[in-house]
Amino acid sequence: MQNPVTVIQSVRLDDENDTLVLLDQTVLPNETNFLELKEMEDIWDAIYQLKVRGAPAIGIAAAYGAYLGAKKSTAETYEALFADFKKVKDYLATSRPTAVNLFWALNRMEDRFKQEAGKSVAEVKAALKEESEAIRAEDEKICEAIGEHALSLLEPGWGLLTHCNAGTIATAKYGTALAPIYLGQEKGYDFKVYADETRPLLQGARLTAWELQQAGVDVTLICDNMASIVMKEGKIQAVLVGCDRVAANGDAANKIGTSGVAILAKHYNIPFYVCAPLSTIDLECQTGDDIHIELRPSEEITTKWYEQSMAPEGVQTYNPAFDVTDHSLITGIVTEKGIAYAPYTESLSEMFKK
């Protein structure tokens, strides 16, 4: 059997060369291109332009970026180094407003910096490197745990629908929503996966279909507006999605189109599971109404994937990158600590106590 987890590492640190190495997800599946980024402006751009994407991968990239920014500082005192670090941290935080992992990782790096108060500049820089590497290593273990918990909800031979890309290239390894698929592959579950293309940036078509095919998984690509018919025809027994932010009440922000899939799943009585590491759960955000939804450029709809424009020149567009799935549509939220069920205001809070 093929190794079910692709060996490609989408985010890594080349510390010797002061470089962040990223798999450029904007050119997949036609090119496998790794970017070697040294400047903060280039790291910011890679996050904003979705060259690195997926909430955990964004967090890992931001942590490495914060470390590299501090490493390059010529400051000679703790206080001066912190000032330089803070500029980098605040700058990277402006790249994407919705993915909570971005802020979680940057805040964790700042917390570690403060824990090193009184130490030399060299010691602080070493601690920041250690923390950034820990964030990556922990994510790999978290994804595997999410996969094990989610797999306990599934039966061999099931048809599974997923939206966007929450796979190994969106994380340190395994992914979140795709983790149970990879682990099931190892155990001979023979899942039949249907991947929504996920307009307008086609993360399902370009990324999910690519990485599952690379891993030897039975995957079928469908257009977003085909989800209803495959559900009606009985091809889908469960829906698995990742997310960028979960509110305290269980509302979950994920790639645009996810809430529509959840509504369809509810209609056809199909369980709908959100796979989310605890770092994605924001207990200070009370409901989905409090989640800022990023608006993206009109070109992503009209011209990005076409030789010629597929819309009238000058037509108005509305291009939100995410929507919020109401907690009432979510069967369960799978975390590395277990599965949370309604009422989520209670179960999500309990997850942090485990």
Helices (H), the chain: 40-48, 55-71, 78-92, 100-115, 121-151, 179-186, 203, 209-214, 227-232, 258-267, 299-302, 344-351
| pLDDT-derived band at 7, boundaries 50, 70, 90 | low
What's the CATH code, domain 145-351?
3.40.50.10470
What per-residue confidence (pLDDT) applies to 35?
A: 97
Token couple for 211: 């990485």
Bridging pattern class, strands 322-325 and 252-255: antiparallel
Tens of pLDDT, residue by residue over 113-125, are 999 999 999 999 9
- Tokens 């980024």 belong to which residue? 37
What per-residue confidence (pLDDT) applies to 354?
A: 85
- Based on the residue annotation, tell me whether 289 is a catalytic residue of this protein: no
Tens of pLDDT, residue by residue over 147-206, are 999 999 999 999 999 999 999 999 998 999 999 999 999 999 999 999 999 999 999 999
Peptide bond into 320 cis (omega under 30): no
Sign of CA dihedral 82, 124, 352, 98: positive
Report the top-level CATH class of 11-143. Answer: mainly alpha
| pLDDT-derived band at 5, boundaries 50, 70, 90 | low
Taking a C-beta distance cutoff of 8 angstroms, is the pair 81, 70 a contact? yes
Sign of CA dihedral 72, 77, 82, 84: negative
Instruction: Say whether pLDDT at 242 is over 60.
Output: yes
Of 139, 244, 282, 323, catalytic: 244
What per-residue confidence (pLDDT) applies to 263?
A: 98
For 343, list phi and psi in degrees, rounded to 5.
-75, 125
Report the length, in residues, of the chain.
Answer: 354
Of the candidates 127, 39, 41, the residue with the CA atom closest to the CA atom of residue 78: 127
Per-domain residue ranges for the chain? 11-143, 145-351
Instruction: Say whether pLDDT at 268 is over 90.
Output: yes
What per-residue confidence (pLDDT) applies to 150?
A: 98
